[in-house]
Chain A
């Protein structure tokens, strides 16, 4: 056991309500608003923030992103950078913030990510190998990639469409307890999921996140300073990261991903076993992602996630191990790259005990996973509430 003494903690969170469309609002404005919320939530003022981590693709600002955001926010941080790990970007910020604090470069880091969504999003010129070698054959971005991953998983283990569909239905059920969620008031059963149109076999429409505008922000500071804040500090107990490829054709394994070693490292640092973790906040761009993550976390044998979920009593806040109580991105909506950060924010809320109707009976520890590109960029975090 290599239990590290927690030196960093999350002391503030902010989250904008997702919107299907935004008009006349720049990403910078959304980032500033959500940052103000997180700073106030931490009981701080902006001048006490001396570190700034931001996501890539800040709409109108392709270059010099940290400087542009700092200037816009009126900040002069002593540590700033872009974290570009797709859906794992938010998670990647959390441990990098802790590392920068441990390195003595700053004390309080604002981690902020989000994007606007105008009626016609720009299609940037993209010269990565996936565009060069997949697109000409009719591959269609992430949907095709995750369909290929799901088909390989089904073929390897004989899992059924119902096994995967229960993840989408469970996410929708959880969203019914989150008024912020884009699918609040719109539940969907397993039958509804399987009756929705096939987009790319074996993926049905309701197994795919809905893109929305939105933003999330998190304040990471020293464990000492977090004690002075208004909320129960949420310590970073462990982190793990792994990047294996970009295009799905180059994946070393189609049925298990880089979250497997990332989760193992994060657990090892925390000194916890997976069974010790109260809450699972699992990145869910598609149903297959949750299935693979349950298996990669060692909660069951490969191919057994369907039976495991049924034994778990589903995904709700009263399940044996609740999963994605905010609705997950499948129920909450995917606010671009901030989608991953929604999993961090919900874990902080559960550990604080502030989720209201969906509050777990006991939540002191959480596994939070982030995933980017084609099950190829992974970050796992273990969060724990202060005693």
Chain B
């Protein structure tokens, strides 16, 4: 099995609006936008709040705790760069603060399930350290 850091896969496309998300995650802090007007958390990054349309978004650190809304074990990746580690798991993570993002799920050999708790786990994939999530240790 290839190490994730050795993969040659498409990374993020950096631009001014999204760079705080990728840069803070790489530094070990999960940050998303928060609207100072309607108090919603926002993901993915926008120029103004998509809930109340106020020009009042700021970057804030969030808990990094979430729940797996769904997941899939990818056997035949769309990009050949991922083939060496298939099957691997991606999932929809609903952050405690509300928004959902798609991420790479580190399972440590556990079987994922819908509803499972996950924690922010910055992980090097190819040339970048990305905001991945890890299945919390099963307490049952």
Contact = CB atoms under 8 A, between A and B. Distances in A.
A141 B79 CA distance: 10
Contacts of B87: 198, 201
Contacts of B82: 138, 140
A249 B114 contact: no
Interface string B65-82: 000011111111111001
Interface string A103-142: 0000000000000000000000001010111111111110
Interface stretch (A148-156, A291-299, A316-324, A352-360): A148-156
A155 B125 contact: no
Interface in A276-290: none
Contacts of B107: none
A139 B102 contact: yes
Contacts of A200: 72-76
B75 A137 contact: no
A250 B71 CA distance: 15
Contact of A201 (B13, B44, B73, B130): B73
Contact of B102 (A134, A143, A199): A134
B75 A132 contact: no
Contact of B104 (A137, A143, A249): A137
B92 A148 contact: yes
Contacts of B28: none
Nearest to A156: B114
Interface in A192-220: 197-203
B15 to A, nearest CB: 8
Contacts of A151: 70-72, 114
Contact of B78 (A143, A155, A197): A143
A5 B2 CA distance: 64
Given A132-B44, A139-B102, A155 B113 contact: yes
A254 interface: yes
A247 interface: yes
Main secondary structure of the interface of A (DSSP, over half): helix
B70 A133 contact: no
B24 to A, nearest CB: 14
A137 B71 CA distance: 13
A367 interface: no
A248 B92 contact: yes
A144 interface: yes
Contacts of A198: 73, 75, 87
B115 interface: yes
Interface in B28-80: 44, 69-79
Contacts of B90: 137-139, 144, 148
B114 A138 contact: no
A147 interface: yes
Contacts of B75: 197-201
A287 to B, nearest CB: 14
A369 B113 CA distance: 31
Contact of B130 (A137, A156, A202): A137
A217 to B, nearest CB: 31
Interface in B78-133: 78-79, 82, 87-88, 90-92, 100-104, 113-115, 125, 128, 130, 132
Contacts of A127: 13
A291 B109 CA distance: 31
Given A136-B11, A254-B92, 12 more contacts: A137-B125, A137-B130, A137-B132, A140-B79, A148-B91, A155-B115, A156-B114, A197-B76, A200-B73, A201-B75, A202-B72, A249-B101
23 contacts: A132-B18, A136-B11, A137-B102, A138-B74, A138-B77, A138-B104, A140-B74, A140-B76, A140-B79, A147-B74, A148-B90, A148-B92, A148-B102, A149-B70, A197-B76, A200-B74, A201-B73, A203-B72, A248-B92, A248-B102, A249-B92, A249-B101, A254-B70
Interface of B: 9-13, 18, 44, 69-79, 82, 87-88, 90-92, 100-104, 113-115, 125, 128, 130, 132
